[in-house]
Structure 1
Amino acid sequence: MTKHSEEPKRRRHLMSMRKPALKWQDALPSGNGTMGAMVYGSIQEETILLNHEELWEGSRTKPLPDLSRHLPEVRRLLAEGRYREANRLYPDKLREADYIVQTARFHPGFDLKLWTETHYAFREYVRELDMETGQVSVRWLDGPIRYERRLFVSRSDDVIALVIRADQKEAISVEMRLEPHDLKDAVDKAGRPLELPFSFESAVQEEFLMITGKRLREGTEFGALARIAAVGGSRTIRGDKLEITGADEVLLLIRLFPNGDSRAEMPNLKEKLLSLPPDYDMLFERHQSEHRELFLRAELDLGASESERAGVNEQMLLDAYAGEASPAFMERMFDYGRYLLMSSSRPGGLPANLQGVWNGSYAPPWSSAFFNNENIQMNYWQAMPGNMPETMLPFFDFFESLVPDMRKNAQAFYGCRGILAPLFASPDSGLKKNLQPHVVYWTAGAGWLAQHFYDYWLFTGDREFLRNRAVPFMKECALFYEDFFYEGEDGYYISSPSNSPENWADGSFDGAREISVCVNATMDFAVAKEVLSHLCEACNELGIEPENVEKWKAMLNKIPPYEINEDGAIREWMHPDLKDNYHHRHQSHIYPLFPGLEVTEETHPEWFEACRVAVEKRLVIGLKEQTGWSLSHMANIYARLGEGDRALECLEISGRSCVGDNFLTYHNDWRSQGITMKSMWGFSAPYQIDANLGWTAAMLEMLLFSAPGIIKVLPALPGRWKQGSIRGIQARGGVEVAIRWDMEAARAEVRLRSSRDQWLTVKFPRAIRQLDCTGGCRDSSYGPLYREVFVQRGQELKMEIEFDS
């Protein structure tokens, strides 16, 4: 073997497993943000699933019928308490107009199959992912010969590279083929076989494997080409397989085209593959330097030992079943969330969908679409604090591309200007397509998306982005609110029809705990208030649109204040008919606290406490309704509340129930131990990447909170995380932060580096005995846990803190 194939000395960001995958959801993922590969890791018959972010099919689109003339009727029904009738009205009108449409589905690419000659029962098997480089490796001992396969998806050359090596000459004999992905994954939600909407053709040449798929509904083609380069050995074509015998090394370079004419695309792929050097190590070095720079911008250390970090996934999960996740497990989940986001979201491409860029299902759960009532936002909560701002750019590009369709939604559904986001979308269409009431009546999506636009400005200080992208998008949202909201008798706005994502209100009316449509969902007003406030701040910053700023301020004064129920929890619906229903996983009414920044303990202590009560009801009364993504969401909320032990508890519950052997997360019932014991979609609970990415976001929130002008150091540090460090994380206001702590010794060190001169309020987790600061430092009016410090542009400010014991 070459020097490159030696066991890595640095084990800081490795994920190791001791068994191969039996299904695609258990494979190890590699990706460059555009293409993805999943390595099963079998020795004798290997499968590598190949994906591309632009593989979508099945869209059916029609012009939207005009429903706006029915808006007065649905509002009248709601005002009269006839919720069941209102719930049916718009969906029935859509059916009457024959508006039967379909969101496109993200579909698999192909399988690369490898059949390897074996002679002995294997020993010393390991399947491994190096998150620092994006390389997946499989190693084993076959008698006296040590074999390995290594794969990565190149960021620099846009190619999937796979090498097969052995530590003896002429030891590699392998057959290979490109074929359609395993048809056992062509099943519907109930596990029934699907009629496959594709046809396939494959071919083999001496140096190439190729396959083309045709989408039968659309008539479009997609395909893959693999170039084979071997050192030594002989080649034989056997039907649709290529056999290589007695080689020293075998290299495969693979590219996919997601849409196009195969007669033109295959020669293009061939030309590009032939232009690359047939040298795995050279290609890897070009790739890994770019990958490593992005991955290592932030790094977490929770004090795990090197032997703990070398532990295998399977054992970590078994240990997590005891109830306490190890520091090594938490470090690995933190790293994995970073790795998965950067591997499935890249400038110039699409944002990460429900499964990133990896999918082996021909009918993926919820089409694997882009959902904006929680999931797409959760995918990106970690991007800015985690120091990966470029991963946000596909998010902005995608939703800006949907603005024309979202304007059609606003006009057709409610006769409004501005934009109305669909609850979920695919790359080809932003029209509302689903007829379920909770989808039809969802109006807060665009405003929630707008939060990320403004947050990008808060983190980066990019004024051109603020002027040219954030403000225009927020103005579209504000236009919708201007036309959609109407004043009640008390002078406050009414939001009708309304929806609190996927939840159903309790109460004495017909349809309680069953229907989706409502009036005055708290989230509607929280999102609208945020959009209008951010617009005013942005325009004042830029010195533009003074007349609109006055209009938006007047609108803000008409938004009703939040309400608190008899339990002391913030109400999910601000209407006397609609009582809180704690038995649900969505927690949208807590939006002002998280993911919003409106409610903090400093600004609104009463609402802050009401949010705490509300989330506690979900974790205790509503625990059985929770799943992977909602537990990640709940962990983020507890982090905002400063309750680190509760945040960690949420992640640990998820770790015991919603995490697979390869640490991918699932939409799984926590009471059914093991991912495959409760079949929800075909043969398994649905894999969803949002909980993975939300997990990392929660850990960041536990270690650093930031809002304009204030940061909180270790705001929700769990009691068990006694020592640790984190570096490279970002705070709003353009501040990079590094923290090192030892709570047993009652010490911490904080380093701040700012992109501009500014005073910052810093809150510390415990009472301060002594604070040494290299810059300006003074007391804060907030109290003894706070200090105000002055950070100069480009200069590091260091604080050494001793806490009271």
Structure 2
Amino acid sequence: MKSRKSLFIVIFMFGVVQAFAQSQSMKLWYKQPAQKWTDALPIGNGRIGGMIYGGVTEDHIQYNEQTLWTGGPRDYTRKGAVKYLEPIRKLLSESKQAEAEALAQQHFMGMKSNELSYAADSVKWVSMMLSMYGPQDEMMRDDSWKTITLPTEQGWEAQPGFEGVDGAVWFIKHFNIPAGWKGKTLVISLGRIRDIDRTWLNGDYIGTTSGNGYRKYIIPADKLFVGDNKLAVQVINFYDKGGFTSNTKTLSVYPEGDETDAISLAGQWKYFIQDDNPPAYPRYNADYQPFADLYLKFPKQEITGYKRDLDLTNATAHVSYKADGVTYAREYFSSAPDQVMAVHLTADKPGKITLKALLNSLHKNYVTRKVDDHTLALSLKVKDGVLRGVSYLHVQSIGGKVAVSPKNISVKGANEATFYLTAATNFKNYHDVSGNPEAICKKQIAAIVHQSYAGIKAAHISDYKKYFDTFSVDLGKGENADLPTDERILKFVQSPDPSFISLYMQYGRYLLISSSRPGSGPANLQGLWNNLLTPPWGSKFTTNINLEMNYWPAEVLNLSACSQPFFSIVDDLAKTGHETALENYGAPGWVLHHNTDLWRGTAPVNASNHGIWVSGAAWLCHQLWEHYLYTGDKDFLQKRAYPEMKGAAEFFVHFLVKDPKTGYLISTPSNSPEHGGLVAGPTMDHQIIRDLFKNCIEAAKTLNIDKAFADALKLKYSQIAPNKIGKHGQLQEWLDDKDDTTDTHRHVSHMWGVYPGTDITVKTPELMKAAEQSMKYRGDEGTGWSIAWKVNIWARMHQGDHAYLMLTKLLSPADVSSGKEKGGVYHNLFDAHPPFQIDGNFGGAAGLAEMLLQSQGDAIELLPALPRALPQGNIKGICARGGFVLDFEWQNGRLKNLQVYSKLGKICRLNYAGRTVDIETQKGKSYRFDADLKQL
């Protein structure tokens, strides 16, 4: 009995140790607070996201609410655009690309916001700005002006004091002319300025330039003074990146003809914001917005033992340190069950929690106010938009005193304190903004007032774990496993760190759980997290790969439920896309071009050379079909997926036209995403359309409906222009054989048929060889998401070592010593495009799965692209099409054991090392196999 008890204790302790080791290995951690946003740690509940800096005397939590965007409900389609469809097609067929693009830009693109009223309003506003001041006016005395460091290469909006600024700004710079330049004609180079400058020297007007080009002004010798000179520049910026936006070398003054003898004008300038309220600039799409910032201000202390971490196993973040013999700790999480963000502060001695908490926002239109003796509120309105936001910050303390003013919450001498933050907007759906954010926040805080922190935390963790704990991966431990995360990133390429790869894979799952929950909206270009009023690419939904890539890991990594928000946006887009199909193409069904936003615009946007891309709806439908293949959910297929797939297919039945040169059906006008301009017949379109038709045919058969429609699709399918091998042995990107072997463009769109599609497989060896040749020409470099796509492509090609090479590039440091960012990861493991885009995180996680298991064919392939760098590991909970969940282990690069759980009771075909076995399965049962696939 005693020995049994001892054995039980040993087993129990082993389990505890194992659980502790798993928890430790699944942490991002650091020895210092975040210095910048891409150092901060993300938390999220699908709707409310926070970025935690973890400062000691001032902690900063920048937060977002998923529905806060610019703009409002509107019609994105341009009425009558269909009249220009055939003329555009005709120009393309005559190889008149420039003319086709010009015609399309004028008549075929979607409508911008404020498009009809802007011209008159803008002329009036600019005229007022130009006439209001001159450098000779009293207002132009710069003694009391603020300073800014110029140039700002990424635009002034990232500089303190310039957040969200559009409008008119004056800049003044004093510089000295040496005596040796007396009598010389000089050149003042201001680099690129956005959008208009008017420039004076010593009170004399010297010129103006419009647009985003470079400015150089010739200054006659008699206009200069030896000694002090005063340069004044009025910059008028209408939207987005304003100010001096080139590099420091271009900002200088020098004698004409001798740039080597230059005086730099880079550095401190004085500035004055003349007017930051120009007319709302016409926009094709809306921008995702930051909500506000929570600051916690503490007494200054000398500290030791600082640590900051994010625990992926339970979705909690922490900060701890010691000061004056006291250990302080903070815990943070964003709860989905209670729809609040929590910050819990403790000390190991009583009465030591003292701080002030305050809210502010980058939005110009915001106020804070006292709600009650424990609650502070912030209200805001988005500039040039219809959305309003409200946030409540509620505090509960044990011991001490709490005081709430209209500006902040003060806590003095508490034993512990917990802040609960919630946020909401008046958005209800893409055509209804009648929500009441005040009532929502009030209700959410009222619901947690009588709960304990321990109870709220337990509910959060339990809810999170039902997603996260469905999957685990262990690739072994490397020599750097115990180092802080930022140090591991720097050392990853030089020394093996397989557990870092496990961490990265699980971090991708964490980010998806945190940014895409049932009942919330889908993950955008930055998931849930954004700190800028003018974020990169609007932080919207880019549908020519990026939105789709966000959901690549969902099914295979056992997060199928996190796809629900994706299905919801497809539901909306199928409706708005129907109008675009009619107005632009005179077609039934629905169509989606390369970008959309909160308001679900589907029209072509931006520029005609890349905005007229017609395959967005079809690509989204691929994910609907994938969900059915993984889950076997026939109700989902019948009521939701198939009607939308059919609608997308109906559009293409109408849209495809016969190419007069080849006789094939082709897609025109369109483009190979963001590459090569407006064309007829890009390869990617045809691959995606074939995939859509094939899946519709199979779905109709499964549901026993629409036989006539399926037969029509079969006929069309056989007539679509096929994949073609070009003169360089490459897979052609376009209908014409015009690929450039020196072209290293980031998009590899014609590889869609390899991944995520199945147009090109190991069963089409000639095409696969051509695809490989194209990948070699395109090269291994790229931006973050591009590298992630290449991981998946090389894995589909069963080239594990090349896929792993791409993975090492994906995990390289984006912050480098030169100060220039590159593709890779930031300190918080966010993917760098650069700047941050979350699709690389999701694509990278999917790529790792693709190395270990593939099920797109007629069998489940085990370890199809296992790299030599990962000779051992085990994985549990990885999913395969057909409704199978697999656990397996490998050692020395060889399968060791396997367990298959059948959710649907289908026949399971397994393939490993040239051996294929079929087993009949029963729903809800598991099956075990040895290394030779012999059933145990």
Provide the TM-score with structure 1 as the length reference.
Answer: 0.87
Which residue does 1:186 correspond to in 2?
A: none
Do the aligned partners of residues 649 and 264 (structure 1) sit closer, same or farther apart at CA in structure 2, a change above 3 Å counting? closer
Match of residue 799, structure 1, among 912, 919, 929 = 929
Do the aligned partners of residues 172 and 220 (structure 1) sit closer, same or farther apart at CA in structure 2, a change above 3 Å counting? same
Secondary structure of 2:719 counterpart: coil
Match of residue 738, structure 1, among 872, 882, 887 = 887
Q: Distance in 1 between matches of 2:722 and 2:839?
A: 31
Between 386-395 and 202-211, the greater mean CA deviation after superposition? 202-211
Which residue does 2:871 correspond to in 1?
A: 722
Q: Is 1:630 aligned to residue 786 of structure 2?
A: yes
Q: Is 1:223 aligned to residue 381 of structure 2?
A: no
The question of whether the paired residues in 2 share the 8 Å contact of 1:212 and 1:221 is answered with yes
Q: Distance in 1 between matches of 2:558 and 2:656?
A: 37
Q: Is 1:568 aligned to residue 729 of structure 2?
A: yes
Q: Distance in 1 between matches of 2:387 and 2:697?
A: 46
Q: Superposition pairs for residues 31-110 of structure 1, below 5 Å? A: 31-59=44-72, 61-62=74-75, 63-93=77-107, 100-110=282-292
The question of whether the paired residues in 2 share the 8 Å contact of 1:225 and 1:254 is answered with yes
Which residue does 2:798 correspond to in 1?
A: 642
Q: Is 1:501 aligned to residue 673 of structure 2?
A: yes
Q: Distance in 2 between matches of 1:415 and 1:199?
A: 45
Which residue does 2:354 correspond to in 1?
A: 173
1:211-239, CA deviations, whole angstroms, 9 ceiling, x for partnerless residues? 10012433542011011111111234566
Do the aligned partners of residues 268 and 418 (structure 1) sit closer, same or farther apart at CA in structure 2, a change above 3 Å counting? closer
Q: Is 1:296 aligned to residue 477 of structure 2?
A: no
Question: How far apart are residue 458 of structure 1 and its match?
Answer: 0.4
Q: Distance in 2 between matches of 1:640 and 1:65?
A: 43
Q: Distance in 1 between matches of 2:809 and 2:888?
A: 27
Q: Is 1:333 aligned to residue 486 of structure 2?
A: no
Do the aligned partners of residues 792 and 633 (structure 1) sit closer, same or farther apart at CA in structure 2, a change above 3 Å counting? same
1:524-583, CA deviations, whole angstroms, 9 ceiling, x for partnerless residues? 110110111111111111111111111111111111221011222211012246666732
Q: Distance in 2 between matches of 1:545 and 1:660?
A: 57
Do the aligned partners of residues 265 and 476 (structure 1) sit closer, same or farther apart at CA in structure 2, a change above 3 Å counting? closer
Secondary structure of 2:412 counterpart: strand
Between 11-20 and 719-728, the greater mean CA deviation after superposition? 11-20
Q: Is 1:468 aligned to residue 639 of structure 2?
A: yes
Question: How far apart are residue 27 of structure 1 and its match?
Answer: 1.1
1:645-686, CA deviations, whole angstroms, 9 ceiling, x for partnerless residues? 11111111122144799xxxx99534xx9969xxx99xx942
The one-letter code matched in structure 2 to 1:44 is T
The one-letter code matched in structure 2 to 1:54 is T
The question of whether the paired residues in 2 share the 8 Å contact of 1:32 and 1:158 is answered with yes
Q: Is 1:654 aligned to residue 810 of structure 2?
A: yes
Between 425-434 and 331-340, the greater mean CA deviation after superposition? 425-434
Q: Distance in 1 between matches of 2:647 and 2:477?
A: 48
Which residue does 1:763 correspond to in 2?
A: 911
Match of residue 367, structure 2, among 184, 200, 206 = 200
The one-letter code matched in structure 1 to 2:303 is F
The question of whether the paired residues in 2 share the 8 Å contact of 1:60 and 1:102 is answered with no
Q: Distance in 1 between matches of 2:770 and 2:601?
A: 36
The question of whether the paired residues in 2 share the 8 Å contact of 1:87 and 1:437 is answered with yes
Do the aligned partners of residues 659 and 553 (structure 1) sit closer, same or farther apart at CA in structure 2, a change above 3 Å counting? farther
The question of whether the paired residues in 2 share the 8 Å contact of 1:398 and 1:427 is answered with no
Question: How far apart are residue 615 of structure 1 and its match?
Answer: 1.6
Unmatched segments (≥5 aa) in structure 2: 1-18, 117-281, 428-432
Q: Distance in 2 between matches of 1:612 and 1:235?
A: 65
Q: Distance in 1 between matches of 2:446 and 2:82?
A: 57
Q: Is 1:669 aligned to residue 822 of structure 2?
A: yes
Q: Distance in 1 between matches of 2:740 and 2:397?
A: 68
Secondary structure of 1:597 counterpart: coil
The question of whether the paired residues in 2 share the 8 Å contact of 1:18 and 1:314 is answered with no
The one-letter code matched in structure 2 to 1:413 is N
Do the aligned partners of residues 579 and 493 (structure 1) sit closer, same or farther apart at CA in structure 2, a change above 3 Å counting? farther
1:100-146, CA deviations, whole angstroms, 9 ceiling, x for partnerless residues? 54311110111111111233x21111111011111011111112100
Do the aligned partners of residues 26 and 180 (structure 1) sit closer, same or farther apart at CA in structure 2, a change above 3 Å counting? same
Alignment RMSD, CA only?
A: 2.7
Structure showing greater Rg:
2
The question of whether the paired residues in 1 share the 8 Å contact of 2:25 and 2:503 is answered with no
Which residue does 2:563 correspond to in 1?
A: 392
The question of whether the paired residues in 1 share the 8 Å contact of 2:374 and 2:403 is answered with no
Unmatched segments (≥5 aa) in structure 1: 1-6, 182-195, 505-515, 767-783
Q: Distance in 1 between matches of 2:776 and 2:489?
A: 26
Question: How far apart are residue 802 of structure 1 and its match?
Answer: 5.5
Secondary structure of 1:382 counterpart: helix
Secondary structure of 2:531 counterpart: coil
Question: How far apart are residue 176 of structure 1 and its match?
Answer: 0.9
Secondary structure of 1:707 counterpart: coil
Which residue does 2:255 correspond to in 1?
A: none
The question of whether the paired residues in 1 share the 8 Å contact of 2:741 and 2:778 is answered with no
Q: Distance in 2 between matches of 1:632 and 1:559?
A: 29
The question of whether the paired residues in 1 share the 8 Å contact of 2:903 and 2:924 is answered with yes
Q: Is 1:611 aligned to residue 771 of structure 2?
A: yes
Between 200-209 and 288-297, the greater mean CA deviation after superposition? 200-209
Q: Distance in 1 between matches of 2:608 and 2:557?
A: 36
Which residue does 1:402 correspond to in 2?
A: 573
Q: Distance in 1 between matches of 2:705 and 2:651?
A: 20
Do the aligned partners of residues 580 and 198 (structure 1) sit closer, same or farther apart at CA in structure 2, a change above 3 Å counting? farther
Which residue does 1:513 correspond to in 2?
A: none
Which residue does 2:207 correspond to in 1?
A: none
1:595-625, CA deviations, whole angstroms, 9 ceiling, x for partnerless residues? 0123221x312112222222222225xx3xx
Q: Superposition pairs for residues 369-384 of structure 1, below 5 Å? A: 369-384=540-555
Q: Is 1:136 aligned to residue 317 of structure 2?
A: yes
Provide the TM-score with structure 2 as the length reference.
Answer: 0.75
Q: Distance in 1 between matches of 2:108 and 2:735?
A: 28
Which residue does 1:544 correspond to in 2?
A: 705
Q: Distance in 2 between matches of 1:95 and 1:339?
A: 38
The one-letter code matched in structure 2 to 1:32 is N
Q: Distance in 1 between matches of 2:25 and 2:110?
A: 59
1:486-539, CA deviations, whole angstroms, 9 ceiling, x for partnerless residues? 1234432022212000112xxxxxxxxxxx101210011101101111111111
Which residue does 2:625 correspond to in 1?
A: 454
Do the aligned partners of residues 637 and 304 (structure 1) sit closer, same or farther apart at CA in structure 2, a change above 3 Å counting? same
Secondary structure of 1:499 counterpart: strand
Question: How far apart are residue 309 of structure 1 and its match?
Answer: 4.1
Q: Distance in 1 between matches of 2:307 and 2:774?
A: 45
Q: Distance in 2 between matches of 1:659 and 1:395?
A: 32
